[in-house]
Amino acid sequence: MKTITDSNTKANTMNSFEKWGVTPHVLTLENSIIREILKLSSQPGVISFAGGLPAPEMFPEADLKEASIRACDTYHDRALQYSISMGVPEFRTAIAEFVKEQVPDINAENVLITSGSQQGLDIVARAFISPGDYIICEAPTYVGALQAFNFYQAKYETVDMDDQGMITEQLEAKVKKFKPKFIYVVPNFQNPSGITMSLKRRIQLVEIANKYDIPVVEDNPYGELRFEGEPMPSLTQLGGNTIITLMTFSKICAPGFRIAWLIAPEDIMPVFEKVKQGGDLHTSTFSQYVMLEYLKMGKLNDHIKKIIKCYGARRDVMIKAMDEYFPSEAKYVKPDGGLFLWLTLPKGMSGKDLLPKAIGEKVAYVYGAPFFPNGGGEDTLRLNFSNASDENIIEGIKRLGKIIKDNM
Ligand SMILES: Cc1ncc(COP(=O)(O)O)c(C=O)c1O
């Protein structure tokens, strides 16, 4: 039987969708450009800096196997049964304890377990966005957040970034003018730019959010992956009263479990609970109990240290290769952590136009434009350094350097 996605021409696809009565705005949603590029970059021999994947060799496989056995032995049928929408109570308590240094003065009541932070973004969007509502975000911003918000027909007002993060000096005027439903930021080692928001800018953001009583969605999947420098306080630590924080095990443990959490003031939690319930009833009970047992084994902090060492070394290899093979007109910001390096190409060069040439030379990246919801960023691209060996990083950067130079 032919499936919907098998339909071979756009016209046929549109016709069959129309016959099925798919909501018009859903038809206008674009596929994630990253997924499209990942398809291209999965061809044999391609060195890919395109994804945002953790290094698979770093997964704590043996410990997770042990945690899975412990979950079965300890919780028996409870680990296999339906559970409550907010998450397994013991696990919510364990998460509140795990994050207490970054998000102080919270307890299990402030924690909602989600199926990945991607679901956290969807829950926030469903709770807040009506068609045409404005969201303020950084430019560039995480393309997956745009995908989540686009579904609810959000509009965007963007705030530029420099090497200190969102230029919050632009923020207040935009808040007054656009009356956004929330402000979305990735303050630590941002995807895609790798930039971390400075303390001054964080304080300014919190002041504006408090003054206008606007929620801030602080998406923080990378905060623990700091290679150097001092950790920055979270927006809650800085006195933010309206902060919704998203955190995840995807980058510090393994994304396959789809275990993440949303932290918010207690009075908004019943809203998120209802939204979560309508979405998937609850996050996988078994995954929650496995991660609970893994936390109880006390190995996560050492594991994070191992990842930091591995990714920090890979970042250094990439930077050294860029310094050697890229023309000086190509500029990058050195990230203090995370998974990504952000490149600004020599003047007039387009990351999109360069990509087919790069794929031809068997190296892949994600070009920058899709990370800018209101346009711009044509001369930028994102490079992931966590998921390639040192040899591949050097060879891939060498190939890319030649392509950039040849096109100058
Ligand atoms: C900024 C940001 N938010 C959210 C996510 C989604 O993470 P999860 O795997 O927890 O759904 C990602 C994944 O790359 C991300 O980079």
Distance 117 CA to ligand 1 centre (A): 6
Contacts of 105 (CB under 8 A, 6+ apart): none
Q: Is the dihedral of CA 143, 149, 154, 160 positive or negative?
A: negative
Pick the CATH number of 10-59+302-406 from 1.10.1240.10, 3.40.50.300, 3.30.200.20, 3.90.1150.10: 3.90.1150.10
Q: Where are the domains of the chain?
A: 10-59+302-406, 76-296
| Residues 144 and 118: beta-carbon distance below 8 Å | yes
Distance 148 CA to ligand 1 centre (A): 11
Around ligand 1, the residues with Cβ closer than 6 Å are 52, 116-118, 142, 144, 186, 191, 219, 221, 248, 250, 255, 260
Mutate to test the pocket of ligand 1, among 117, 249, 339 (most ligand atoms within 8 A of CB): 117
pTM of the entire predicted model: 0.94
| Residue among 85, 145, 155 nearest 118 (CA) | 145
Q: Quote the CA–CA distance of 61 and 328 in Å, as a whole number.
A: 42
Distance 244 CA to ligand 1 centre (A): 15
Q: Quote the CA–CA distance of 375 and 27 in Å, as a whole number.
A: 21
| Residues 339 and 311: beta-carbon distance below 8 Å | yes
Rg of the Cα atoms in the chain: 22
Q: What class has domain 76-296?
A: alpha beta
Return the ligand 1 atom nearest residue 255 CA. Answer: 9
**CATH topology match: 10-59+302-406 vs 76-296:** no
Cα 197 to Cα 121, 202, 220: the distances in Å are 20, 7, 12
**Residue with CA at minimum distance from ligand 1 atom 16:** 191
| Residue among 197, 191, 180, 181 nearest 144 (CA) | 191
The one-digit pLDDT tens for each residue of the chain (408 residues) are: 333 343 344 444 556 667 788 888 888 887 777 777 777 777 888 999 998 899 999 999 999 999 999 999 999 999 999 999 999 999 999 999 999 988 988 999 999 999 999 999 999 999 999 999 999 999 999 999 999 999 999 999 999 999 999 999 999 999 999 999 999 999 999 999 999 999 999 999 999 999 999 999 999 999 999 999 999 999 999 988 999 999 999 999 999 999 999 999 999 999 999 999 999 999 999 999 999 999 999 999 999 999 999 999 999 999 999 999 999 999 998 999 999 999 999 999 999 999 999 999 999 999 999 999 999 999 999 999 999 999 999 999 999 999 999 998
Distance 245 CA to ligand 1 centre (A): 13
